């Protein structure tokens, strides 16, 4: 069986698990008052080029989006988001559950433009009835997006500028950030992400960790009493060191980058193989998620040997299928897949 369903099918990168193993018997205080947490914060801020800032560790992507957004928004505020954004589609209403409207903007391959944000905000305040409407009070984007696509540095700067003009924070969901940073042709670095966003998170779960995400902000004042809010959301792990420990490993010897690079290289090889075989690329992604239009009959015949993911509801005769690589994918896996299609 070949596994291309998603990037969270195995446990953790062996180095990460090794770190948990080696520190297992050490005693530390709970809830983040431990040396690993402070060490991981230091390492992450350093990698982000930030002298100062806030770093918090959470367990998963939806949880992270939910809590950061809950902190950034006031009661009668909403978050601007691409209509295909994860928070708008695949989080079971986690944002609304906390009382906040997700205001969707048209998607351009999973991305929104600075211009669409600017126009929305301008029109909002020009509407006489805006007091009855949900204030657009922050912007959420994902990088890579849910379609594997990436913003260019120029696009990110544009969005960041719009947010500063409107005095609302920009939050970047980096669930798959490793694959974005290592992508061929990208001009966006971790330091850019850290400086252009107000808050962002570095994905661990889908990038080699057992589980866990790291929220980073160059503006700690935006996240007051955040541990207490994490607790309220059931997200303050008793053994607070578990996630930072993993991030210490991921950010040693550039492991995080290498994981991304490995998966991206294989994903591009996979894409080229599909193109050569005549498949239509649904979205041209430079990262570890690849999307193709495939005949339903082909999909059915592959199912017993290849794990993959249907993207949206199936079509009449053909459907969109997603193939995902990660640190555990091998060159042989790609070759085997390509020989089957």
Q: Which of residues 290-329 bind a second copy (CB under 8 A)?
A: 307, 309-310, 312-314, 328
* Residue 214 exposed, middle or buried by CB count within 10 Å (0-12, 13-18, 19+): buried
On whether the CB atoms of residues 52 and 219 are closer than 8 A, the answer is no
Q: Return the number of the residue (278 or 312) whose C-beta is nearest a second copy.
A: 312
Residues in contact with a second copy, total (CB under 8 A)? 87
Q: Under the criterion CB under 8 A, does residue 185 sit at the interface with a second copy?
A: no
DSSP 8-state assignment for residue 303: T
DSSP 8-state assignment for residue 182: T
Q: Under the criterion CB under 8 A, does residue 190 sit at the interface with a second copy?
A: no
We find the least distance from the C-beta atom of residue 159 to a second copy, in angstroms, to be 22
Rounded alpha-carbon distances, angstroms, from residue 198 to 116, 152, 286, 300, 311: 19, 18, 25, 45, 31
Taking the C-alpha atoms of residue 48 and residue 310, their distance in angstroms, rounded to an integer, is 35
Taking the C-alpha atoms of residue 2 and residue 205, their distance in angstroms, rounded to an integer, is 21
Q: Under the criterion CB under 8 A, does residue 89 sit at the interface with a second copy?
A: yes
Contact pick of 39, 70, 108, 161 for a second copy (by CB under 8 A): 70
Residues 259-288 that bind a second copy (CB under 8 A): none
Contact pick of 51, 52, 132, 339 for a second copy (by CB under 8 A): 132
DSSP strand E in 15-118: where? 54-58, 77-82, 101-105
Q: Return the number of the residue (126 or 339) whose C-beta is nearest a second copy.
A: 126
We find the least distance from the C-beta atom of residue 124 to a second copy, in angstroms, to be 8
Contact pick of 35, 42, 106, 123 for a second copy (by CB under 8 A): 123
Residues 201-240 that bind a second copy (CB under 8 A): 205-206, 210-211, 225, 227-229, 231-239
* Residue 143 exposed, middle or buried by CB count within 10 Å (0-12, 13-18, 19+): buried
Q: Return the number of the residue (1 or 52) whose C-beta is nearest a second copy.
A: 1
Contact pick of 37, 62, 84, 107 for a second copy (by CB under 8 A): 62
Q: Return the number of the residue (194 or 308) whose C-beta is nearest a second copy.
A: 308
> In sequence order, which ranges of 98-225 are alpha helices (DSSP H)?
114-126, 153-166, 177-181, 190-196
We find the least distance from the C-beta atom of residue 189 to a second copy, in angstroms, to be 26
Contact pick of 43, 55, 59, 207 for a second copy (by CB under 8 A): 59
We find the least distance from the C-beta atom of residue 55 to a second copy, in angstroms, to be 17
Binding-residue pattern over the window 136 to 155 for a second copy, x denoting contact by CB under 8 A: --------------------
Contact pick of 63, 109, 195, 296 for a second copy (by CB under 8 A): 63
Rounded alpha-carbon distances, angstroms, from residue 336 to 163, 168, 266, 275, 329: 46, 48, 12, 16, 11
We find the least distance from the C-beta atom of residue 337 to a second copy, in angstroms, to be 14
Sign of CA dihedral 277, 281, 284, 285: negative
Contact pick of 6, 50, 153, 302 for a second copy (by CB under 8 A): 6
What are 200's strand-pairing partners?
172, 216
Contact pick of 14, 53, 220, 273 for a second copy (by CB under 8 A): 14
We find the least distance from the C-beta atom of residue 252 to a second copy, in angstroms, to be 19
As a whole number of angstroms, the longest Cα–Cα distance in the chain is 63
Sign of CA dihedral 60, 62, 63, 65: positive
Contact pick of 15, 20, 49, 161 for a second copy (by CB under 8 A): 20
Q: Tell me the two tokens of residue 64.
A: 């992270």
């Amino acid at each position: 069986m070949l596994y291309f369903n998603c990037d969270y099918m195995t446990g953790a990168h062996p180095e990460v698990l090794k770190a948990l193993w080696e520190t297992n018997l050490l005693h530390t205080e709970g809830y983040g008052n431990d040396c690993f947490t402070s060490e991981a914060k230091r390492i992450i801020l350093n990698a982000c080029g930030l002298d100062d800032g806030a770093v918090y560790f959470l367990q998963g992507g939806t949880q992270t989006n939910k809590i950061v957004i809950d902190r950034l928004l006031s009661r009668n505020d909403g978050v601007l988001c691409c209509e295909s954004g994860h928070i708008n589609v695949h989080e079971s209403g986690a944002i609304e559950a906390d009382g906040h409207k997700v205001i969707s903007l048209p998607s351009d391959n999973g991305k929104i433009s600075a211009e669409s944000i600017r126009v929305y905000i301008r029109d909002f305040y020009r509407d006489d009835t805006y007091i009855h409407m949900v204030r657009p009070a922050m912007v959420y984007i994902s990088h890579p997006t849910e379609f594997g696509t990436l913003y260019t540095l120029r696009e990110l700067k544009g969005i960041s500028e719009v947010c500063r003009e409107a005095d609302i924070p920009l939050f970047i969901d980096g669930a798959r950030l490793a694959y974005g940073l290592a992508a061929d042709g990208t001009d966006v670095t971790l330091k850019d992400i850290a400086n252009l966003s107000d808050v962002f998170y570095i994905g661990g779960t889908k990038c080699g960790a057992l589980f866990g995400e790291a929220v980073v902000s160059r503006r700690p004042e935006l996240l007051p009493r955040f541990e207490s809010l994490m607790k309220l959301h059931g997200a303050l792990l008793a053994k607070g060191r578990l996630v930072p420990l993993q991030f210490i490993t991921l950010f040693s010897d550039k492991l995080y980058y290498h994981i991304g690079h490995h998966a991206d290289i294989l994903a591009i090889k996979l894409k080229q193989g599909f193109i050569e075989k005549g498949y239509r690329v649904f979205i041209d992604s430079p990262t570890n998620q690849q999307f193709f239009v495939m005949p339903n009959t082909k999909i059915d015949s592959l199912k017993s040997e290849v794990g993959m993911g249907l993207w949206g509801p199936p079509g009449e005769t053909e459907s969109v299928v997603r193939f995902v690589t990660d640190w555990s994918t091998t060159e042989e896996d790609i070759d085997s897949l390509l020989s089957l299609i």
